[in-house]
Amino acid sequence: MRAVAVIGIGDTRFGELWEHSLRDIGMQAGLSAVGDANIAGEQIEALYIGNMSSGSLIDQEHLGALVADYSGLAPLHLPAVRIEAANASGGMALHEGYIAVASGMHDIVMVAGAEKMTDVADDEIPAIQMTAGDQQWEGISGATMASLYAMMARRHMYEYGTTREQIASAVVKNHKNGSLNPVAQYQKAITMDTVIKSPMVADPLGLFDCAPISDGAAALILAPMEIAKKFTDKPVEIVSSFAATDTLALHHRESLTRLDAVVHASRRAYKRAGIEPKDIDVAEVHDAYSIGEIMNIEDLGFFEKGKGGPATLEGMTEINGVVSVNTSGGLKARGDPMGATGVAQAVEIVRQLRGEADRRQVSDAEYGLTLNVGGTGGTAVVHIFRRV
Amino acid sequence: MRAVAVIGIGDTRFGELWEHSLRDIGMQAGLSAVGDANIAGEQIEALYIGNMSSGSLIDQEHLGALVADYSGLAPLHLPAVRIEAANASGGMALHEGYIAVASGMHDIVMVAGAEKMTDVADDEIPAIQMTAGDQQWEGISGATMASLYAMMARRHMYEYGTTREQIASAVVKNHKNGSLNPVAQYQKAITMDTVIKSPMVADPLGLFDCAPISDGAAALILAPMEIAKKFTDKPVEIVSSFAATDTLALHHRESLTRLDAVVHASRRAYKRAGIEPKDIDVAEVHDAYSIGEIMNIEDLGFFEKGKGGPATLEGMTEINGVVSVNTSGGLKARGDPMGATGVAQAVEIVRQLRGEADRRQVSDAEYGLTLNVGGTGGTAVVHIFRRV
């Protein structure tokens, strides 16, 4: 298999984009990536579109052909496909696009993620989010994603003595980072008090522990490493791309406080890259719920199991900490348009490794990692990127 | 890229499977393929699941992890993903699974297609089917898939003098073939009169010109050609795997009677295989609507444009005709569980090339082809298979 590089990135601001449809934002992110890569649209050989629930959200499937069409690529008759792995759809689209280039099947591939969540009433969203869980066991019993993550949080507190303040400190950090990111949904720092006193959603998680409902899109242009320098002075190599799954239902797992899919995907990724967790300088992880970030940074091996909370409260995951986590603002502040999130994570890491992250730039970042999670950990997708 | 073979096949009967859930039928087809390939489930390295609309149909996304989980593969933490390209989801899942093996990323891969359509009321189905079209232009104006195909049929009649009887003859043939297929939804031959006098759906298409609402699943086990003989005496090689797209909306195309996505995908496929349309012995094509089969056999190059109708009426596409088309019964009689269809087409071609098609066996078949279409031609996926 060939080495693969990211040669172009593009995204929209995340938020409540009332004035734009899914096809608008998909096209906007795509065109921005094409411009960034300095290619003509006609050079694209295949499209991989990450999206979780467009059928339920906007009554539209067939997004591969749709995005090709509305990006003006219909005359090319190129292959285009939608990739779905719940909230990990974006990361999984990147995984499949990576394989397509690594295999030699295609040279220039666009990977995009897009989701339009604000075209349905807010109170329909929890049910749609639960389509990522095990409906026959969990949804039917009234579980919501927030309630499942709340159980993980309570158990984490019980097993490891993790405190409410430690969990909330991930949110405070992410809002601070988001305040430095011009494409974040929320660009405003908040206090610990705001998080802890926010209205309860599912004990112990409050409103500010949960990522928002968002519209948004992000896109990447991939190419074989061997020709990447023809397009850009700053190619970023994808040194590992791995996905793993687990039981869909939380109660079927051995542990409530460890996501085995994250452990497996990341161990394979480190092995392929020939590095260890401590070599990662900057990481975007899946803080759809605040406790998710605490567990992720443990399961990725950045910190020992049970030490994620204290590490976060002590600032070890702040920009230029031991490892800089969610410099974009994470899902909490950057926003979380479900199928777009995994691609947006990669866009942020590329910005960091290129040295283009402006006020939130991590010093001398060489290795970056993205972790995109579907449901409560039914799917995990890990990518490791390297500055060339 | 490595040569790829199909080493195992499995399927469920298609039909109204009231007593089975999507997870049941996905598991059943998968286990059947695992048995046929003589492998242990633990040898599977990745899963590709074709499904069009499980979010809308059964309120469940995340089918990659779901199928892995309910097939007992959760302890492997393998990568699993859902592939969606509307009605071409199954064919596209095979395309992505093929790339994964050809690339060297994985050795043993399962590709499955599954759809459960009978858990919603029948009258909700047309709207769900339209999510394959361009909702912003077509669905919003009240178009249904049947009405769009009806316009193609009327135009084909106008341009080429195609007759009602010619179109209906595809249905009569497919029901005859279905009567020979123990897994077909309808195993009953019908007369021309039954088709022509059936209740009108969208002029000129009647009830019998439209494929039914179906539940069902099908699965394939893929392996590199170089090790395929370790598992089976009768590996079938996938010599070409190509997908192409077109505008989602019918009215945006140059012609209403030619599916350019089919033309492009098939031309690439013939070129890669080093063969011509006349070399194909047996083909499964996309007769979701009867006129579809007439156009498909023209666009695939089996017959000149405008000659598909007469060729069908004259029996040239019957079993052991010039080319044997839809020996399984096609979508009309075999059934059409949307995301499962493309995989089921491949299962039938493998049965034919292995010489296991019993009473519907095509004599001495060497090359087989599948054509899976999404929407009105927004996506087309073509595979060419060869007896080894």
| pLDDT recorded at residue B135 | 96
**CA dist., res. A235 & res. B141, Å (int):** 45
| pLDDT recorded at residue B86 | 98
| pLDDT recorded at residue B302 | 98
| pLDDT recorded at residue B224 | 98
Q: With respect to residue B302, please indicate whether it lies within any of the assigned structural domains.
A: yes
Q: Are residues A44 and A148 in the same domain?
A: no
Q: Are residues A187 and A218 in the same domain?
A: no
Q: Where among B166, B198, B228 does a domain terminate? A: B228
| pLDDT recorded at residue A26 | 94
What is the pLDDT of chain A when averaged over all its residues? 97
Q: Considering CB atoms only, which of B62, B63, B85 is closest to A81?
A: B85
**CA dist., res. B324 & res. B83, Å (int):** 29
Alpha helices in A162-289 (DSSP H): 164-178, 192-196, 225-228, 260-273
- Backbone φ, ψ for residue B126 (5° rounding): -55, -40
Give per-residue pLDDT as tens, B256-278: 999 999 999 999 999 999 999 99
The mean per-residue pLDDT over the stretch B309-319 comes to 98
Give per-residue pLDDT as tens, A262-279: 999 999 999 999 999 999
| pLDDT recorded at residue A289 | 98
Cβ pair B23:A66 closer than 8 A: no
The answer to whether A336 touches A214, Cβ cutoff 8 Å, is yes
Q: Are residues A154 and A246 in the same domain?
A: yes
The mean per-residue pLDDT over the stretch A83-104 comes to 98
Place B44 in a pLDDT band, splitting at 50, 70 and 90: very high
| Token digits of residue B141 | 């104006």
**CA dist., res. B161 & res. B165, Å (int):** 11
Strand partners, B178: none
Chain B residue numbers with beta carbons less than 8 Å from the beta carbon of A103 are: 1, 99-100, 102-105
Among chain A residues, CA nearest to B250? A69
**Cα separations in angstroms, A220 against A7, A48, A72, A94, A100:** 8, 10, 17, 8, 14
- The number of residues in chain B equals 388
| pLDDT recorded at residue A265 | 98
Give per-residue pLDDT as tens, A47-80: 999 999 999 999 999 999 999 999 999 999 999 9
Q: Which residues of A129-146 are buried (b: 16+ CB within 10 A; e: fewer)?
A: bbbbbbbbebbeeebbbb
Give per-residue pLDDT as tens, A3-43: 999 999 999 999 999 999 999 999 999 999 999 999 999 99
Give per-residue pLDDT as tens, A185-217: 999 999 999 999 999 999 999 999 999 999 999
Q: With respect to residue B127, please indicate whether it lies within any of the assigned structural domains.
A: no
**Cα separations in angstroms, A285 against A105, A239, A277, A334, B290:** 30, 18, 13, 12, 49
Alpha helices in chain B (DSSP H): 22-37, 54-58, 63-70, 89-102, 125-129, 145-160, 164-178, 192-196, 225-228, 260-273, 290-299, 308-313, 330-334, 338-354
Where do we find the tokens 């009215």? B251
| pLDDT recorded at residue A85 | 98
- The number of residues in chain A equals 388
Q: Are residues B189 and B102 in the same domain?
A: no
- Please indicate if any CB of chain A lies within 8 Å of the CB of B298: no
3-class DSSP state of B280: coil
Specify the amino acid at residue A344: A
| Domains held by chain A: number | 2
Place B194 in a pLDDT band, splitting at 50, 70 and 90: very high
**CA dist., res. A161 & res. A46, Å (int):** 49
Q: Where among B228, B263, B280 does a domain terminate? A: B228
- Domain limits at B14? 4-122+214-228
Specify the amino acid at residue A246: D
- Backbone φ, ψ for residue B356 (5° rounding): -110, 25
Q: Are residues B188 and B310 in the same domain?
A: yes
Give per-residue pLDDT as tens, A11-20: 999 999 999 9
| pLDDT recorded at residue A330 | 98
| pLDDT recorded at residue B129 | 96
What is the pLDDT of chain B when averaged over all its residues? 97
Q: Are residues B153 and B8 in the same domain?
A: no
Strand partners, B382: B242, B371
Max CA distance (Å), chain A: 59
**Cα separations in angstroms, A324 against A38, A302, A368, B10, B255:** 30, 11, 9, 48, 54
Cβ pair A379:B65 closer than 8 A: yes
Chain B residue numbers with beta carbons less than 8 Å from the beta carbon of A23 are: 136
Q: Are residues B56 and B149 in the same domain?
A: no
Q: Are residues A170 and A112 in the same domain?
A: no
Q: Report if pTM > 0.80.
A: yes
**Cα separations in angstroms, B72 against A92, A267, B40, B41:** 22, 22, 11, 8
Q: Any idea what the CATH number is for the domain that residue B112 is in?
A: 3.40.47.10
- Please indicate if any CB of chain B lies within 8 Å of the CB of A69: yes
The mean per-residue pLDDT over the stretch B232-240 comes to 97
Q: Are residues B143 and B273 in the same domain?
A: yes
Q: With respect to residue B172, please indicate whether it lies within any of the assigned structural domains.
A: yes
Angle, in degrees to the nearest 10, between helices A260-273 and A290-299:
50
Q: Which residue, among A50, A52, A16, A12, has the nearest Cα to A33 in the 3D structure? A: A12
| pLDDT recorded at residue A385 | 98
Half-sphere exposure of B64 (CA within 13 A, CB side): 35
Cβ pair B62:A248 closer than 8 A: yes
| pLDDT recorded at residue A260 | 98
- Please indicate if any CB of chain A lies within 8 Å of the CB of B102: yes
